[in-house]
Amino acid sequence: MTRMVAHGTNLGPLELTDGCWGVGDATRPGTRWVEFRPEGLLQHEPDSEGRLTPWSRIMIGIWFTWGEHSWGTNGRGAYTLRGKVAGRGTGWMHMTLRDPHENHQLRFDRHERPYRAVDVLRLETLMRRLVDDGRPHLLGDPEWLGRAVPHLTGGKNTWITDRALRRATAEAIETAG
């Protein structure tokens, strides 16, 4: 796959590659990554056809942690003084599913580029808001996401408040239509 890293084609671990949005590095062979499809989140793994988590099963939350094991992260992970996610390796997207209720994690291999903490927080806020609004399927619409993501990229990487995150997310959703 060809990587595109122009302005507006990535937001933390979310990246547009060959017309598909996904979390994790989809360009390196043998990696784990999560593709955002119209029907749900598809976990890609080496030597596997993948596992689909339908949008309708995602009940609450979506948050990211960093580290080799989903349960072994110290809180949310480590960050540098410059506001970047520290280290390399593996990331985890966590969520709660319904029918049956279960905690669910999707693993992805991180890109070589560092992720800004603000971008990760904006991505989490966008995903949570769409789940809370009953519209997580919009994440599987590449054109809609392509209009929302550029609105959330850039800006300062300091003094991020819940209010600022909610405002930026609401503006991005309104802009995307």
Q: Which two tokens stand for residue 86?
A: 């520290």
Question: Taking the CB of residue 150, how many other CB atoms lie within 10 A of it?
Answer: 17
Phi, psi of 46 (to 5 degrees): -60, 140
Residue of 173 and 61 predicted with greater confidence? 173
pLDDT mean over 117-135: 94
pLDDT of residue 155: 75
Give the pLDDT confidence of 130-165 residue by residue, as tens digits. 999 999 999 999 999 999 999 998 777 666 789 989
Q: Is the pLDDT of residue 3 over 60?
A: no
Output the pLDDT for position 4: 38
Name the helix (H) or strand (E) containing 22. strand 20-23
CA atoms within 13 A on the CB side of 125: 24
Higher pLDDT, 24 or 83: 24
Res. 1: pLDDT tops 90: no
pTM: 0.88
Side-chain-side CA neighbours of residue 14 (13 Å): 30
